[in-house]
Amino acid sequence: MFGRLTLFALLLAGGCSSAKDEELAAAKGARSVLAEWSTVERLDRAGRLPRAYANEMREKAREAVLTDRKSIKDPDAGRTVDAVVSVAAPSARSLAAAGTHLQRAVDRLEAL
């Protein structure tokens, strides 16, 4: 295990995978934000969130996903994110589905 850690550290320290890491971090971030956004929509639909809170969380989630999108090069993941943010008021279900779809891109990037 120590050997693997050392190799991992050397690879990263050498900057060999910095672009991929940036993309992976962005994909993971976007996937989490989509799940957070989906939970906001679900709870808000059930009338369990204060209005100002729900609106601001929506806006912040959209901003965060758009920021992460800039670092996502994977075409499939990019299309998924674009499809969600192009809708004015995406549903909890579509957001959760997009998050699940993005997880596949995360898995692909992690495997590289």
Partner 1 sequence: MKLSELALGVLTAVGGFVDVSELVFMSQAGSRFGYALIWVVVLSTVGIMVFGEMSGRVAAIAKQPVFNLMRNRLGLRLGLITLIASFVSNLITCAAEIGGVALVLQLLTGAPMRLMAVAATAAFIATVWFLPFKWIERTYGLLGLFMLVFGVALVAIHPPWGQIAGGLVPQVPRGLSTRDLVAFAYFAVALLSAVMFPYETYFYSSGGIEDEWGPKDLGINRLTTIVGFGLGSLLAIALLASAAQLFGPAGISPEMIGTVAMQAGVPFGKVGVLLALLGMLFAIGGAAIETCLANAYSLGQFFGWRWGRHRPPREAPRFTLSWILVFAGSLVIVLTGVEPVELAEYAVVASILVLPLTYLPLLLLAGDRTYMRVHANGLLSKTLGWGFYVLIVLAAIAALPLFLLTSGGQL
Site for partner 1 in 48-87 (CB under 8 A): 48-50, 52-53, 55-57, 60-61, 64
Helix H or strand E segment including 7: helix 2-13
- Token pair 């976007």 is found at 30
64: DSSP letter: H
Which x/- pattern, by CB under 8 A, does the window 15-44 give for partner 1? ------xx-xx--xx-xxx-xx-xxx--x-
Neighbours of 77 (CB within 10 A): 26
Q: How far apart are CA 59 and CA 79, in angstroms?
A: 20
Where along the sequence are the contacts to partner 1 (CB under 8 A)?
A: 1, 4-5, 8-9, 12-13, 21-22, 24-25, 28-29, 31-33, 35-36, 38-40, 43, 47-50, 52-53, 55-57, 60-61, 64, 99-100, 103, 110
